[in-house]
């Protein structure tokens, strides 16, 4: 048995290496099962050795089991701590006043409103969004949102849809109590009434109940790319952004840090302005998802920890979005192919200039109604078969 024990001990580092390889290649559940089997095997072997008087070998096996369990436990605890650090914002008491779309009680499909928060005065040191809302009051104009996306995750968790609402979309604006505040560009909802005003505005626009909201500041885009080692995007034609003094050369460009921030912010110099910026934001997210899901980031403990830290350091969610629900959602999406994530943009009817508001996007109301119905019924592929131009193009077609 001693030779067997020695072989078992020597097999430990080899097993760890094998498990690490499985994790890097996406076999997370298999890795977890094998890890449990390995720990139980060491414990049973330790008991056997102890009963037969081989105290030294029993101690070594027990130490191996404890060390392995402790390492895994610490890793899980560390990840949970990072989730604990996500600021939560409490919905105002008025959030359920008026009429809201009904909750989808018969399905486990989720709608998450994702917003990007940007400080219009970069030189001003401001409190965070969570700090601003700690007293239940929103500081008008403190932040704006040029990124508004509805993330729909079907009940089977085998796909996901991301529908972008361009910031210049001219729509009725509602405050957090659901009271109408006239019409304006949709980003006015965030600036004037904060995340929950935007949530009520988007619910009124889409007819979809938002289960949760998440706000990530633009620095989060920057730090996320650094954590995963950057992503590559293709620029079809050389373009100059006069506002940010940035020239994008035709061909593949590596985005990391501040350069990623410039890419998702650009509107000036792009032919379709707001819509091209939306396409860039979607293209960036697609590249990030492909890197995270297909390149071993989730299975690499070091890289995944850095990635999670980059996200959680710049993320704010609603109070009801608990750690348990976030963990459960992440586990249920394990194995999701990035190619199963569809990026769509709210359809445009025409551009218009509105007095006191400026240049706006007039939504194609009839087609938009079809889109939101398709999202609600998990039939967006049929919608895209009918309107293929509404889906994000191939990597080399995005301006």
The pLDDT tens digits for 359-397 are: 999 999 999 999 999 999 999 999 999 999 999 998 888
Instruction: List Cα–Cα distances, 284 to 190, 261, 280, 287, 396, in angstroms.
Output: 23, 10, 6, 5, 12
Domain-embedded: residue 65: yes
283 and 353 housed in the same domain: yes
Domain endpoint, select from 60, 84, 108 = 84
User: Is there a single domain that holds both residue 346 and residue 201?
Assistant: yes
For residue 349, being part of any structural domain is answered with yes
How many angstroms separate the CA atoms of 243 and 107, rounded? 45
For residue 328, what pLDDT is reported?
Answer: 86
Q: Is residue 118 one of the residues assigned to a domain? A: yes
Which of 84, 110, 139 lies at the terminal end of a domain, its last residue? Answer: 84
Residue 291 has pLDDT above 90, yes or no: no
pLDDT tens sequence across 195-227: 999 999 999 999 999 999 999 988 887 888 888
Tokens of 92: 């105002």
Task: Report residue 375 CA to chain centroid gap.
Answer: 18
User: Can you give the pLDDT at residue 14?
Assistant: 58
Structure confidence at residue 23 as a pLDDT band (50, 70, 90):
low
Query: Is 89 domain-assigned?
Result: no
Residue 334 CA to residue 293 CA, distance in Å, equals 8
Which CATH number goes with the domain that contains 232? 3.40.630.190
pTM, full prediction: 0.86
Assess if residue 53 is contained within a domain.
yes
CA dihedral (187, 391, 111, 307) positive or negative = negative
* Domain identity same for 155 and 67: no
**Does one domain contain both 274 and 164?**
yes
pLDDT of residue 153: 94
74 & 101 share domain: no
pLDDT for residue 120: 73
Query: Vertex 43, ends 40 and 46: CA angle to 5°?
Result: 150
Q: Which residues contact 339 (CB under 8 A, 6 or more apart)?
A: none
Domain of residue 27: give its range. 2-84
CA distance 297 to 26: 9
Contact 145, 113 (CB under 8 A): no
Query: What are the two backbone dihedrals, phi and then psi, of residue 109, each rounded to the nearest 5 degrees?
Result: -65, 150
Query: Whole-angstrom Cα distance, residue 27 to residue 42?
Result: 22
pLDDT at 313: 86
Number of domains in the chain: 2
Asked whether residue 189 falls in the same domain as residue 239, the answer is yes
Are residues 305 and 237 both part of a single domain?
Answer: yes
Whether residue 365 is contained in a domain is answered as yes
Residue 87 near residue 130 (C-beta atoms within 8 A): yes
Residue 168 falls within a domain, yes or no?
yes
Q: Which residues lie across from 161 on neighbouring strands? A: 152, 342
**80 and 98 housed in the same domain:** no
Q: How far apart are CA 265 and CA 195, in angstroms?
A: 20
Are 72 and 219 part of one and the same domain?
Answer: no
Mean pLDDT across the chain: 86
Mean pLDDT, residues 308-330 taken together: 89
Backbone angles phi, psi at 221, to 5 degrees: -60, -45
Same-domain pairing of 133 and 282: yes
Same domain, 115 and 192: yes
Instruction: Please identify, among 24, 59, 84, the residue that sits at the C-terminal boundary of a domain.
Output: 84
| pLDDT at residue number 303 | 81
Return the number of other C-beta atoms located less than 10 Å from residue 78's C-beta: 13
- Is residue 183 within 8 A of residue 171, CB to CB? The reply is yes
Which burial class, exposed, middle or buried, applies to 48 when counting CB atoms under 10 A from its CB (0-12, 13-18, 19+)? middle
pLDDT confidence tier of residue 161, bands split at 50, 70 and 90:
very high
Q: Which residues contact 295 (CB under 8 A, 6 or more apart)?
A: 228
Q: What are the helix and strand counts (H, E) for the chain?
A: 12, 15
d(CA 215, CA 145): 9
Query: Based on the domain organization, do 59 and 107 belong to the same domain?
Result: no
Q: Answer yes or no: is 173 within a domain.
A: yes
């Amino acid at each position: 048995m001693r030779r067997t024990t020695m072989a078992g001990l020597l097999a430990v580092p080899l097993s760890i290496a094998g498990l690490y390889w499985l994790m890097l290649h996406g076999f997370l559940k298999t890795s977890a099962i094998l890890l449990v089997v390995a720990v139980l095997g060491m414990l049973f072997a330790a008991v056997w050795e102890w009963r037969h008087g081989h105290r030294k070998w029993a101690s070594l096996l027990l130490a191996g089991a404890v060390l392995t369990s402790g390492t895994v436990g610490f890793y899980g605890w560390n990840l949970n701590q990072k989730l604990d650090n996500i600021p939560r914002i409490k919905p105002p008491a008025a959030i359920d006043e008026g009429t809201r779309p009904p909750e989808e009680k018969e399905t486990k499909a989720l709608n998450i409103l994702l917003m990007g928060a940007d400080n219009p005065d970069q030189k001003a040191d401001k409190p965070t969004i969570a700090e601003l809302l700690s007293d239940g009051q929103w500081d008008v104009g403190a932040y704006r949102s040029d990124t508004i996306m509805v993330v729909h995750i079907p009940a089977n968790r085998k796909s996901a849809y991301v529908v972008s609402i361009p910031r210049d979309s001219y729509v009725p604006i509602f405050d957090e109590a659901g009271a109408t505040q006239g019409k304006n560009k949709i980003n006015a909802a965030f600036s004037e009434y904060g995340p929950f005003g935007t949530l009520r505005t988007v619910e009124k626009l889409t007819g979809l109940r938002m289960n949760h909201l998440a706000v990530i500041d633009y620095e989060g885009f920057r730090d996320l790319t650094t954590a995963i080692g950057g992503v590559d995007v293709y620029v079809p034609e050389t373009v100059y952004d006069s506002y940010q003094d940035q020239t994008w050369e035709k061909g593949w460009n590596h985005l990391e840090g501040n350069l990623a921030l410039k890419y998702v912010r650009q509107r000036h110099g792009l032919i379709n302005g707001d819509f091209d910026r939306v396409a860039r934001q979607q293209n960036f997210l697609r590249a990030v998802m492909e890197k995270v899901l297909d390149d071993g980031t989730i299975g690499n403990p070091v890289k995944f920890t850095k990635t999670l830290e980059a996200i959680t350091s710049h993320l704010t969610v609603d109070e009801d979005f608990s750690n348990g629900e976030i963990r459960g959602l992440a586990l249920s999406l394990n194995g999701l192919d990035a190619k199963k994530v569809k990026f769509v943009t709210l359809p445009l009817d025409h551009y218009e200039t509105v007095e006191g508001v400026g240049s706006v996007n007039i939504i194609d109301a009839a087609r938009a109604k079809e889109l939101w119905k398709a999202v609600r019924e998990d039939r967006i592929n049929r919608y895209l078969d009918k309107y293929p131009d509404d889906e994000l193009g191939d990597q080399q077609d995005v301006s």
